[in-house]
Amino acid sequence: MSIRKMFFIALLSVSSACSSDLFLDSNGNMPDKSKIEQIHLGQSKDTVYSILGAPSSISGLSDDHWIYMSSGVKKVAFMRPQEVERQVLAITFDNDQVSKIDKKTLADGNDIKIDEEETQSTEREQGFFKKYFGGVGTYMPFGGDKNSKGL
């Protein structure tokens, strides 16, 4: 067998092995479009729950903001996962009645700018010995007191 044939076979086997590492994962519990269309302003929480089921998340300090969401993520071998689809349905309640229905997709998402500034700490930085040897002698495995006399 010639070197060219061996190289071609090796290249073909590597490319076929890598091509089978494509995964599409779906996450979340977005209800069907027909169920979402049944939700209208003024409906009660119980009615929404009976139609859509439990939300993915309840945001805020009260239970007046229900969020249903799903996403599709493409994973290829060792490459970084890429979100290819996102759906978010946010339902807001006021006095246990639907007051707002908001639908979002991946196209509605915004990039978040990360602030590089740091918050200054009021604590002093501990020295090397205090940091690593400051607790020596304070651990009492049998609940003993440092000030009590031994047997």
- Residue 68 vs residue 15, higher pLDDT: 68
pTM for the model:
0.56
- Residue 61 vs residue 46, higher pLDDT: 46
pLDDT at 56 exceeding the cut of 80: yes
- Work out the mean pLDDT of the chain and round it to a whole number: 79
Please report how many Cα atoms fall inside a 13 Å half-sphere around the Cα of residue 140, on the Cβ side: 9
Which residue ranges make up each domain of the chain?
Answer: 21-109
pLDDT > 70 fraction of the chain, expressed in percent and rounded = 77
Q: How far apart are CA 132 and CA 147, in angstroms?
A: 23
The pLDDT score that the predictor gives to residue 99 is 94
- Residue 113 vs residue 6, higher pLDDT: 6
The pLDDT score that the predictor gives to residue 111 is 60
pLDDT at 18 exceeding the cut of 70: no
Choose which CATH entry (3.30.470.10, 3.40.50.720, 3.30.420.40, 3.30.1450.10) describes domain 21-109.
3.30.1450.10
Q: How far apart are CA 105 and CA 111, in angstroms?
A: 14
- 101-138: pLDDT as tens digits: 999 888 887 665 666 777 777 667 777 777 777 777 77
